[in-house]
A and B are shown apart, each in its own frame.
Chain A
Amino acid sequence: MANQKLVMLADTERCVNCKGCEVACRAEWNTPLGFNRNWVIETISISDDGVPHMYLISGRCQHCDDAPCVTNCPSGASYQRDDGVVLVDREFCSGCEMCVQVCPYDARFKNPLDDKISKCTFCQPRIDAGEQPACVEVCFNRALIFGDINDPNSEVSQLLKQEKWKKLVTDKVDTKPNHYYSESTYLDASVLPQEKEPTIEAEVISKVVNPVVSVGFSGMLGLFGAAGIMKIIKRREEVSNDSHSE
């Protein structure tokens, strides 16, 4: 487990936008209507002769190694596991939505049922029990492939070698995602990461309570209940140590 690095491959040549992945996720994690942890988007490019070409692109949290949702989370609830999975600690998530605003892929939302941040977890409880993520499990055309990139015999390692892949990154935004797409996929603004500026509050709170860069922390105490903030600060420390221990 410790040496695993988990990734998702979306073979867009196989995807037919049947939306099995979307419903699988809704059923598995009980996401309320109107919200989705994953999606399939169509992009269309028109070639010089006027002929349209269409691509079907399955998306979700890209589980970035340089995840702005983690660095901008004031409470330390957002974190990345050693195996690369980006998660939200339910006890510490205040639902402040600062991570929602900074995600370049719009992969997070606040769940109105519990006021916590919801996102794709690669089905963490399922994969920890040795199952595939729900979306991968149902995929009719085997367009979604999930596994450990550190295991050279895994299906993902084999496919990454055999076929050509790319990530959803631009010159301006590269948060080191762990999600791959077929090289032939036409990408446009609807799927590429968007530049996101954290709000001033997000920046201040994140820097204030983040022990790595802590500045002017005493001035901010008035904003929070003392007990609450101490808990959060302790948490940030733990998360920072945790993520820097690799």
Chain B
Amino acid sequence: MPARFSLLSLGKILFSPAEAFQAVADESPPASRVFFRFALWIGLLPPLFAYVGTTLFGWRLGVEPVFLPQPTVIAICLAYFAALLFGFVSSAVVARWMAVTYDASQSLGRCLALMAIVGAPLAIGSIVHLFPHAFLNVLVLVPVLIWCMYLLYRGLPVVLGTGPNRGMLMASALIAYLFVAFVSLLGITVALWGSGIGPQIGT
């Protein structure tokens, strides 16, 4: 099998996603390859950018910057990395589980590749974390997120080999999961802050 899914294909994934989707459909890359040669590394980018930005500029929430102690920054970035990986793998597993209902491919490799292609623009867009101004991040990441949603609707039927209508339904069901995963991350984050892990806040 010519499985070529790796960091080297990042350009194609970002700029010709339709080709990337078709390539995954043709090649059906193994799960380990998608994870170790692509997702793991691209998943490192957001926490790295966040680390550099937080250390250099502090969190900008609209008033004076909030600087955090080094050990806290490292802990937050590691937790961020773990959450991203968990979110990535769990989305692929959920997609595989849903595939039975929507008559789609149940190959874990394809599901991981789909989520990797869909998530890649967000990982690259996270370069905005280099200046952790909250509103600037919202402003940049919202259009990127919309693009990612478009990629999910567009790519799912191709990568998982299901019809466009079933693909649309399955993508919507996956978006429901992604909403929930994201809001869980928010909830877990603030609960950790409240228990003393993170910025010093008086709860």
Q: Is the pairing of A and B real?
A: no
State the A residues within 8 Å of B (CB).
Answer: none
